[in-house]
Amino acid sequence: MSDNANIYLVCGEDPLCPVGDWVHRQLHENPRVKVVSVDALMRSFNELPLSPAILLIQAGDALTQCLPQFARWMQRWPSLQMLLFGPVSASDLEAFYGQGGCDLVPAALSNTDGLSSYWQAKLDTFERQAKVGRQKKQATRKLQAMAASLLAVEEDQALGASVQKMLMPEVALNLKGLTVAHDIRPSLMLTGDFIQYSSIRAHEVLFCLADVSGHGTGSALVTVLLNEQVERLVLMAAADSSLSVGRMMAQINEALCEAVFDHHVTCVLGIIDLRNNQLRYCSAGHFPHPLLVQNGAVQVLEAGELPLGLLKSKEYDAVQLALAPEFKLLIMSDGVLQGLRGEALAEKEATLKAFALGDSGEVEGLLERLFEVSDDGLADDASVLSLVRKVGYDR
């Protein structure tokens, strides 16, 4: 097998269907493509020096033989695009996606002539993910190197803070009248708070706010794993609309348990569907509860589950709510509570509800509007994720 092949076409013993004939006709003479048997792939795949861009697998026997290798291949080649073609059963398709498969080649493409842009789109996706993977590996290496000297070296702390900033969104997300933005104020230079959000379809946004227990380097390193998991879930959710929020939360929990960090994580993970005006969310032990403001009232989203990283077998249930055309959703870390005046927890919760009801929800200056930050800084990391939708946009 050529080390320079970018696409591997894996055919089994089953006859080729019309889609398979089209795939083979399109690709078998392409210099970037290597047509291989399953046995040849197994013998040499893990010895390749460079990541393949696309692994194109025929449904049936070839898929059955390849499925047990998916996890190992994805661990080594996280940017690999694994595609499936041909007639496939529902159970095989579910297994394909569940193990990290990316896409089922549409049967309609078999009626097209010439080289389809479908392949170029998949190659472009590989290049984007490979670039992100390289950046992520660089960031992880910097954080790991920093952990050894973080105790006394202020320069390394500043570097770590900049790396963490790279892992989170740089700008607000705007989609169909919805604005998603965040603010994180670390109590130290590094933070155990993590926020991520991304559009997964033209009308859906996935968001996450997590709070890692403890402080310092250990908590900061957990956010690297959280970022890796959420980025992977964004790709999986974009490819599979049936992937539930509860299952996504369970996958993050499994990864944290397997990593055996000495930390647990509270987390709010959700998807906003702007076409159907729905919110699907899951809360893993997070407090304060998210606050949803719509129709002139504030609703405390009290649903909660066990924090992440404690019990690997834990299953998580999502809650679905109807959204008004205009709404405001504020999610905060528990460091915000410590910044509020008052001794009683009920008093602080009432303050948050009143603030959410009366405030614009705009992230810029939100924490300053909520409480006064002293020169001594914050006792704990304080973070806020704001999701605000206004009417009057062009649908």
The greatest distance separating any two alpha carbons of the chain, rounded to the nearest whole angstrom, comes to 73
Instruction: With a cut of 90, say whether residue 251 has pLDDT above it.
Output: yes
Domains and CATH numbers, the chain: 7-127 (3.40.50.2300), 167-389 (3.60.40.10)
Q: Give the torsion through C-alpha atoms of 211, 212, 216, 222, to 10 deg.
A: -120
- At residue 207, the pLDDT reads 97
CA distance 95 to 56: 16
pLDDT at 54: 85
- What φ, ψ does residue 28 adopt, rounded to 5°? -65, -25
Q: Greater confidence, 298 or 22?
A: 298
Alpha-helical segments (H) within the chain: 18-27, 38-44, 61-66, 70-76, 90-98, 117-147, 154-167, 217-239, 245-259, 335-339, 345-358, 366-370
Beta-ladder partners of 54: 7, 81
Token reading at 260: 């055996």
Distance from C-alpha of 335 to C-alpha of 286, rounded to nearest angstrom: 12
pLDDT above 50 (res 274): yes
Encoding tokens for residue 368? 């300053």
58-93 pLDDT tens trace? 888 889 988 998 888 888 888 888 889 888 899 999
The C-alpha R_g of the chain, in whole angstroms, comes to 23
- State yes or no: pLDDT of 330 exceeds 90: yes
Angle of helix 154-167 relative to helix 117-147, nearest 10 degrees? 160
Instruction: Note the pLDDT of residue 373.
Output: 65
Q: 41-55, 188-202, 296-310, 323-337 — which one is most confidently predicted on average?
A: 323-337
- Using CA atoms, how far apart are residues 160 and 141, in angstroms rounded to an integer? 11
pLDDT-based confidence at 56, cuts 50/70/90? confident
**What is the DSSP code (8-state) at residue 317?**
-
Strand partners, 181: 386
Residue 163 banded pLDDT, cuts 50, 70, 90: low
150 pLDDT above the threshold of 80: no
**Residue closest to 328 by CA, chosen among 369, 295, 303:** 295
Distance CA 235, CA 71 (A): 16
* Closest C-alpha to 195, from 290, 277, 302, 299: 290
- pLDDT band at 376; cut points 50, 70, 90: low
| Rounded Cα–Cα distance for residues 342 and 380 (Å) | 16
Lowest average pLDDT, out of 96-100, 300-304, 331-335, goes to 300-304
pLDDT for the residue 223: 85
State yes or no: pLDDT of 2 exceeds 50: no
Rounded mean pLDDT, 359-367: 91
Per-residue DSSP letter, 290: P
Q: What are phi and psi of 130, to 5 degrees?
A: -65, -40
Instruction: Please give the helix or strand (H or E) that residue 104 lies within, else none.
Output: strand 103-104
When the pLDDT of each residue in the chain is averaged and rounded to a whole number, the result is 83
pLDDT at 3 over 50: no
Instruction: For 237-247, write each residue's pLDDT tens digit.
Output: 999 999 999 99
Question: CB atoms < 10 A from the CB of 38, how many?
Answer: 20
pLDDT for 395: 44
Those residues with Cβ within 8 angstroms of residue 141's Cβ, 6 or more apart along the chain or in another chain: none
Judge contact between 221 and 194, C-beta under 8 A.
no
Q: Is the pLDDT of residue 367 over 70?
A: yes
Distance CA 342, CA 72 (A): 52
Distance CA 135, CA 131 (A): 6
Contact 56, 23 (CB under 8 A): yes
CB 306 within 8 A of CB 314: yes
CB 306 within 8 A of CB 312: no
Mean pLDDT of 40-62: 82
What's the burial of 159, exposed, middle or buried (CB within 10 Å: 0-12/13-18/19+)?
Answer: middle
The predicted structure's pLDDT at residue 1? 40
- Per-residue pLDDT reduced to its tens digit, 181-226: 999 888 766 788 999 999 999 999 999 999 998 776 778 888 888 9
Segment among 119-128, 137-146, 185-194, 384-393 with least mean pLDDT: 137-146
